């Protein structure tokens, strides 16, 4: 089954919010990922940090889907996307080397 990568960054408006105002949205996103994982979808999710381990580079969601269309339909349910809090892209990822993951 193909793998897909969603890369996201906060919009300027979202980045301007305090962590306390962003937290409920982040928690909703994490809960959605957890539910989808428990339902059997293969997912890797995380955020990007700089050389000092400070967040701000966005996040990645790597997951399996049957097709680009199915991936796009599924990822559109992400609470961060539904709330309009992130700018994002979606691409199919074709692994060619590595240690066996995924």
Predicted pLDDT of residue 63: 96
Domains in the chain (CATH in brackets) are: 3-93 (3.30.70.1060)
Burial class (CB in 10 A: 0-12, 13-18, 19+), 18: exposed
| Model pLDDT, residue 102 | 64
What six digits make up the tokens of 16?
């301007």
Rounded CA-CA distance 19/45 in Å is 20
pLDDT of the chain, 102 residues: tens digit per residue = 999 999 999 999 988 988 899 899 999 999 999 999 999 999 999 988 889 888 777 899 999 999 999 999 999 999 999 999 999 999 999 988 877 666
State the pLDDT at residue 56: 75
Predicted local distance difference test score (pLDDT) of residue 9? 93
Model pLDDT, residue 57: 76
How does pLDDT run across 38-47, given as a tens digit for each residue?
999 999 999 8
């Amino acid at each position: 089954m193909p793998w897909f990568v969603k890369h996201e960054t906060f919009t300027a408006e979202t980045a301007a919010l305090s962590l306390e105002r962003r937290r409920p949205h982040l928690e909703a996103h994490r809960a959605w990922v957890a539910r989808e994982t428990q339902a059997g979808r293969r997912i890797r999710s995380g955020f990007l940090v700089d050389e000092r381990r400070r967040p701000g580079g966005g996040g990645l969601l790597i997951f399996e889907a049957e097709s680009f269309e199915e991936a796009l339909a599924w990822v559109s349910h992400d609470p961060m996307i539904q709330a309009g809090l992130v700018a994002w892209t979606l691409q199919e990822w074709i692994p060619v080397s590595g240690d066996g993951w995924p």
